[in-house]
Amino acid sequence: MTTELTGGIDPSREYVFAQRPDNSEMRDSVSFWTVDDRGRFGLPRIGIEAVAANWANHEVQLNIAFPDGRVYRLRGAGPSLPPGGPDGKPTVLGAGGLAFRCIEPFGTWTMTYDGKAVQTSSSDLIAGRAAGPLVDVGVFVEATMAVPPWIQGALRHDAGDRIDNSVEGELMGGPRYEQLYRATGSVTIDGHTEHFTGSGLRIRRQGVRRLAQFWGHAWQSALFPSGKAFGYIAYPPRPDGRPTFNEGYLYRGDGELIPARAVRAPWLRRLREVGEDVSVVLETADGTVHIDGETVYSTHDIHHDDDTYSVREMKKENPNFPALQQAGVRYRWDGEETYGMLERSNPLSQIET
């Protein structure tokens, strides 16, 4: 059986906006979550948010995290890079020292960063302290897609209904898909370079994103050496019992994604650096699958007080925006082990101190 890595999506969906959208709320976004396959370090989200209202200066997020608690972090903005690639097509989304490039739609992407990052730690971020000295940082990732893209809302009718007819569609930020990849690259910190092989998750999103009603989520994904993979996004149960978005998939190494939903998810209840059980149980039409998970490095955004356009606008919509964790996880499934990603959030009022 062969694998169709486009998932039937028009390759032009991979292109970025060639010019500023007329709608000031419109966004273009690319982000990578990359893990070293030896667990030495990870890049738990490096991304760009290009907001039409602030088009000359796209926003940059960078995280580099280590199991010993070291974190190098950047939240800022930089002059937007021209979107045209070597062939003139809009294949580059970049700002300042960060650039994402589509080399081949649904085939190969690269990410490069050359600039500064704040040196901090997991424990300081949990305490709400994000300041620190600036350090020279360089990152290069070449991502080769390995799993069909997952379009949110496309695998389960109930999930698609939530995207189309409820607040969850606004939270997703418009048409969105994600795709797991194999990776090679390097990380340079203060002149010291480590080369790595690994895997990761790429996210493409274009649309209007409104976060005023955001109340938390759990999001996990990983690619195993054999080619197996999983992923899901779920929103916590509502107090009034109304349904929430809950969709995911299993992948057996070829063919199509198998629709799934999370029947047990590790909601964010405590703020911990590493070593937390974040196992998940996914249900498919053929039964349930238990995937063990333990955090191995972690970053947090507790108070969301970074001085960027998107954060300022977000706090206007939702002054008590949930605390956020972005982490790397050691996963085990049927005796096979890999490293993958975790993002989850919850209001501080629902988190143990």
Collapsing DSSP states into helix, strand and coil, what is residue 13? helix
Give mean pLDDT, residues 187-201: 98
Distance between CA atoms of residues 249 and 283, nearest Å: 9
Q: Are 126 and 63 in contact (CB under 8 A)?
A: no
The residues, any chain, with a CB within 8 Å of residue 276's CB and separated by 6 or more, are 266, 270, 294, 295
pLDDT bracket for residue 317 (50, 70, 90): confident
pLDDT, position 2: 61
Collapsing DSSP states into helix, strand and coil, what is residue 233? strand
Residue 238 has pLDDT above 90, yes or no: no
Distance between CA atoms of residues 286 and 301, nearest Å: 38
pLDDT bracket for residue 313 (50, 70, 90): confident
Give mean pLDDT, residues 11-17: 97
Token pair, residue 142, equals: 């070449």
Residue 29 has pLDDT above 90, yes or no: yes
Across all residues in the chain, what is the average pLDDT? 94
Token pair, residue 136, equals: 């020279």
In the DSSP assignment, the letter for residue 335 is T
Give mean pLDDT, residues 44-64: 97
Using alpha carbons, select from 212, 272, 260 the residue that is nearest to residue 232: 260
**In 10 A of CB 1, how many CB atoms?**
7
The residues, any chain, with a CB within 8 Å of residue 296's CB and separated by 6 or more, are 39, 42, 67, 274, 327, 328, 329, 330, 339
In the DSSP assignment, the letter for residue 236 is P
pLDDT, position 353: 64
pLDDT bracket for residue 258 (50, 70, 90): very high
Global pTM exceeds 0.85: yes
- Kindly report, residue by residue over 290-312, the tens digit of the pLDDT: 999 999 999 999 988 888 888 88
Distance between CA atoms of residues 309 and 209, nearest Å: 14
Phi and psi at 311, nearest 5°, equal -65, -40
pLDDT bracket for residue 319 (50, 70, 90): confident
pLDDT bracket for residue 352 (50, 70, 90): confident
pLDDT, position 213: 80
pLDDT bracket for residue 197 (50, 70, 90): very high
In the DSSP assignment, the letter for residue 167 is H
Q: Are 202 and 141 in contact (CB under 8 A)?
A: no
Alpha-carbon dihedral 151, 200, 223, 105, rounded to 10 degrees:
50
In the DSSP assignment, the letter for residue 14 is G
